[in-house]
Structure 1
């Protein structure tokens, strides 16, 4: 019987390798999308997050509860997960891993980031405009929600909350790629959405929509 060396693990890290492979494969698919495909999935991603903002404003307006509003906001991340649309801040893990694995290019990554950011904002602004026009009673709640981001300014607190927001999205993405079950993938989506909404965490797309 052959003895293992000290450098060899007792148990092969198959689950971690499978998660990494899923990240690389999906990143390769994202980077390979056409301009139209990127624009469409990015725009729809903005719509999904906009729906989450609508849910947050409705619930906070009725219940005056930040926690319930944060839970309602997770509806947007549930939609993102099920529809597999693009969110700009999700693209700091999946496609980057693909580029590091040499299955994508830096130019392709820049194209993905730019297109997704612009179309996320466009889709989100469309929903926000419709919400403000269709639900005028929510304007006060929207102003109050937006004020929390304005008050952050550009100091260390805003920077720290931005890092936390990025950490939450990256963790959500990593956990979702650790399983092939859509039902299980909803769990980190709900948790991340709740923490972002209830904690008023500084998130690039969310802060631009409220």
Structure 2
């Protein structure tokens, strides 16, 4: 519950913006019953105004609460998984993205160095049993270069704002300390063999 309160406090500005957006989107539609019954009568629309404000506000609050609780549940799942040996053995820093955004929900991730490269590690589907872990190496690469094609073809890295690889693990595999470490070291060796330049990263800024 303390985590939920902390989210509300830290995200109060984005929650307020989300409430206002939802309210403005719903508000005009609350007049439709009156319009269908009485037409575009200013008198009846004025009478409907207090009810419309109330209905739109309640609907907006319901949307915000649903989104907040859904985001909170995902964060709890991630928090539980990040305590598994496969993640704690990495000794990575934690980061948060999505602050003060009404388009993106809060999300946590890990970032740190393994081998010659820094990696961002994120859990894509924390609610499911077969977990998908996205690992994104911090590298210097031009999207239109031949190296980019080699990374996507030979190493099967996926392009999603940045190059990454999605790994699937069971909960039992994540209980083993070397599960993720070995995958990151393997990817580091593959990137090094291709001569990929690592990016300079200040993990304390995340």
Whether the TM-score (by the shorter chain) exceeds 0.5 is no
Which structure shows the higher helix fraction? 1
Higher relative contact order (CA 8 A, sep 6+): 1
Judging by fraction of residues, say which structure has more strand. Answer: 2
Larger radius of gyration: 2
